[in-house]
Structure formats: C-alpha cells, structure tokens
Amino acid sequence: MNDVSPQVWAVDALGALAHETRLSVFRMLVQAGPDGLIAGAIAEKAGVPPSTMSHHLATLERAGLVQSERESRLIHYRTDYVAMRRLLAFLMQDCCNGAPEMCSDLLAQLHCDANA
C-alpha cells in the first residue's frame, strides 16, 4: 500500500466502494466496529449468496479497506479503520482552500448513536 501514490490508492479504494453491495457491506462492517462480522453473517444480512459475497469481500480486502482473519472454518472480516481514515483524509486534505471554517461542522453531521 505504501509503494503506490496516495491518489492511485484512493482511486482503487473508491473503485471498490463504487458498487452498491460493497458499499453496503463496508458500511455494515464500519457499524459492526472492531469486532467485525463473519462472512456468512455478512452475506445473510446483505441478502447475497455466499459465493458472490466472497467476491465482494475480496475486492474490499484487495483495496485495503477491510481485513480478514481465518478462525477455524470461518473467515472474520473487519474494517481497516486506519485505511478508512487515510481515505477520508485524502478526500478532505484540500478542503476549504485555506478557509477551514467551511468544513468545521463536518463531524457534527455524523450521527454516531450506539443504540441505532
């Protein structure tokens, strides 16, 4: 990941997210937090056949947005929060063109509710 330019990496990451199922899965994993989810549960929640889900998860993993860990016969997937922050920082680094007040309320627009 460090051997490619930030822009090339961002294009790959955004390309992986540029599919309705993969975007939904990525958001699902973000919501799941650091514990993540097993592949079967992801497929079930997304209403996608396991073989198709494997393809989507592999695409997200190749893009560096999720990580997998084998636990016996199960594969556990988690968001790579460092990569997510890297992508968000890349998208926002030139924000505001010297006027940071333009972006100051960005975090206020997030609705982080543990009970949601």
Instruction: Please work out, in degrees rounded to the nearest 5, the angle formed at the alpha carbon of residue 57 by the alpha carbons of 53 and 59.
Output: 120
pTM of the model: 0.84
Point out which residues pair with 66 in neighbouring strands.
79
Going by C-alpha positions, the residue among 72, 78, 75, 90 that lies closest to residue 32 is 78
* 34 phi-psi bin (left φ>0, alpha ψ -120 to 50, beta other): alpha
Q: Which two tokens stand for residue 78?
A: 């988690």
Stronger pLDDT, 113 or 70, i.e. the higher one = 70
28-39 pLDDT, tens per residue? 999 999 999 999
3-state secondary structure of 48: coil
Better-scored residue on pLDDT, 50 or 115: 50
Q: Which CATH architecture has domain 6-109?
A: Orthogonal Bundle (1.10)
Q: Provide the residue ranges of all domains of the chain, joining segments of one domain with +.
A: 6-109
